[in-house]
Amino acid sequence: MNSFSHVTGTDGGRHVRDLTGRVAVVTGASSGIGAATARRLAAGGAAVALVGRREDRLTALADQLRHTSPGDVLPVAADLAHPDAADTAARAITSALGPVDLVVANAGAMLGAPFETARTDEWDRMIDVNLRGLLRTARAFTDDLLAAAAQGRPADLVHVGSVAGHSLYPNWSVYCATKSAVAHLTRNLRAELGPRGVRVRNIEPGVTETELGSDMHNADMRTTLERMRTGLHPLTAEDIAEAIAFSVSAPAHVNVAELVVVPVQQG
């Protein structure tokens, strides 16, 4: 058995990796990849803080996880587009759960339109959430991550990017630009924090069936996105959650630095 195979059992046919004793934060946890990741980490025994805008969904998920998972679960309502939201959330989380050693910065917005007709408020939303929100999330927990690493424990900062960060998708230019920024930010933070023991990584999903993009103003782009997802066998949110769980359960000296996860048919 290799060192990546330490599991505590199975859940719906998937391995449950042992994360007992870890304190995790998952942003964008009210749906999709965030909710699935929170379930996967909680199933592994981690205490999990659920961060998102929709308090009712977070509360419902927390109630569900408290009945099925061994670790503590804390819902924290926050819109990470607001400048102070990440720091405020971090104070509430560390007060309730203790120092954090696993951060999954997943909150995001995907809003497509032809460049010349796109709404600039949608551009602002993507920049505020996909980039500024991710930056502030990482900054809010970096001291905790460095402290965990200094104690010889695993310390993980996981960014959920996209294959759009290095592929060409007409009419998604600004979304692609934000995800490209995430990819290069991750590489540079890996060089900065890695020597001090913090594992920084970028998980890049391909076509995935989630709510992402459902709030786009442009109806034609909503139709395009739906066709993209029905034109092949897309990933599920649980597929990405499993990839994240795999990466954070690696031995402390191993970093799965960049992980591209795509449907087979996407190539």
Residue 267 is predicted with a pLDDT of 86
Residue 75 is predicted with a pLDDT of 98
What angle (nearest 5°) sits at the alpha carbon of residue 237, between those of residues 70 and 87? 65
Q: Are 13 and 19 in contact (CB under 8 A)?
A: no
Q: 151: which 2 tokens? A: 């104690």
User: Could you tell me the CA-to-CA distances from 255 to 44, 112, 137, 138, 251 in Å, in that order?
Assistant: 19, 33, 20, 17, 8
Q: 20: which 2 tokens? A: 């007992």
Q: 23: which 2 tokens? A: 């304190």
Residue 13 is predicted with a pLDDT of 47
Residue 1 is predicted with a pLDDT of 34
Q: Which domains does the chain have, with CATH numbers?
A: 7-260 (3.40.50.720)
Across 94-119, b (16+ Cβ under 10 Å) vs e yields beebebbbbbbbbbbbbbbbeeeebe
Q: State how far the Cα of 179 lies from the Cα of 158, in Å rounded to an integer.
A: 14
Which residues are catalytic, by number? 175
Q: Model confidence over 175-186: pLDDT tens digits?
A: 999 999 999 999
Q: State how far the Cα of 86 lies from the Cα of 153, in Å rounded to an integer.
A: 24
Q: State how far the Cα of 137 lies from the Cα of 76, in Å rounded to an integer.
A: 13
Q: State how far the Cα of 61 lies from the Cα of 41, in Å rounded to an integer.
A: 13
Residue 16 is predicted with a pLDDT of 55
Q: How would you write the pLDDT of the chain (267 residues) with one tens digit per residue?
A: 334 434 544 454 455 578 999 999 999 999 999 999 999 999 999 999 999 999 999 999 999 999 998 999 999 999 999 999 999 999 999 999 999 999 999 999 999 999 999 999 999 999 999 999 999 999 999 999 999 999 999 999 999 999 999 999 999 999 999 999 999 999 999 999 999 999 999 999 999 999 999 999 999 999 999 999 999 999 999 999 999 999 999 999 999 999 999 999 998
Give the per-residue SS3 of the chain: CCCCCCEEEEECCEEEECCCCCEEEEECCCCHHHHHHHHHHHHCCCEEEEEECCHHHHHHHHHHHHHHCCCCEEEEECCCCCCCHHHHHHHHHHHHHCCCCEEEECCCCCCCCCCCCCCHHHHHHHHHHHHHHHHHHHHHHHHHHHHHHHCCCCCEEEEECCHHHCCCCCCCHHHHHHHHHHHHHHHHHHHHHHHHCCEEEEEEECCEECCCCCCCCCHHHHHHHHHHHHCCCCEEHHHHHHHHHHHHCCCCCCCCCEEEECCHHHC
Chain position carrying tokens 């076509």: 207
Nearest to 6 by CA among 250, 257, 195, 202: 250
